[in-house]
Amino acid sequence: MSWYVLYTKSRNEKKVAKRLEEKGIEVYCPLREEVRQWSDRKKKVAEPVFRSYLFVTLADYTKESVEVLYTPGTVRFLWWNNKPGIVRKHEIEAIKSFLNDYKDAEITVTFKEGEKIVV
């Protein structure tokens, strides 16, 4: 069993995850709680950490990927060097561990438009 990265339509991550789970496919959609402000109230909502991406585990990519891609809301699998990109189990566990340990972590951008950065 290997983990693969699935690209979904925008804001369809949770819907696709639910549909795949209903088909018996193991899915991981990393979520974090965020407080959203509406005009009349504040509410905690679970937002995807990686927008438009899910992790799915498949025993046989060639056979099972078609069923995954026929699920409404999916776009494609992420590829690397002409092969479907595989995420190692320990990397998935590291994401889970990080999100568990740092529930209040925020992603912020500290550079300005036009500023030179080193990648």
Q: Which residue has the higher pLDDT, 9 or 37?
A: 9
| C-alpha closest to that of 17 among 43, 55, 46, 50 | 55
In a domain, residue 6? The reply is yes
Name the pLDDT band for 117 (thresholds 50, 70, 90).
Answer: confident
In a domain, residue 14? The reply is yes
In a domain, residue 119? The reply is no
pTM for the whole structure: 0.83
State pLDDT tens for residues 100-110. Answer: 998 777 767 78
In a domain, residue 107? The reply is no
In a domain, residue 108? The reply is no
44 φ/ψ angles, rounded to the nearest 5 degrees: -85, 130
pLDDT at 106: 72
Q: What is the domain range of residue 70? A: 2-101
Question: What CATH number corresponds to the domain at position 62?
Answer: 3.30.70.940
pLDDT at 94: 96
Which residues lie below 8 Å from residue 111, measured CB to CB, with a gap of 6+? 117
In a domain, residue 114? The reply is no
In a domain, residue 19? The reply is yes
The single-letter code of the amino acid at 85 is G
State pLDDT tens for residues 33-73. Answer: 888 888 888 888 889 999 999 999 999 999 999 999 999 99
33 token code pair: 């709680």
Q: Tally the domains of the chain.
A: 1
In a domain, residue 10? The reply is yes
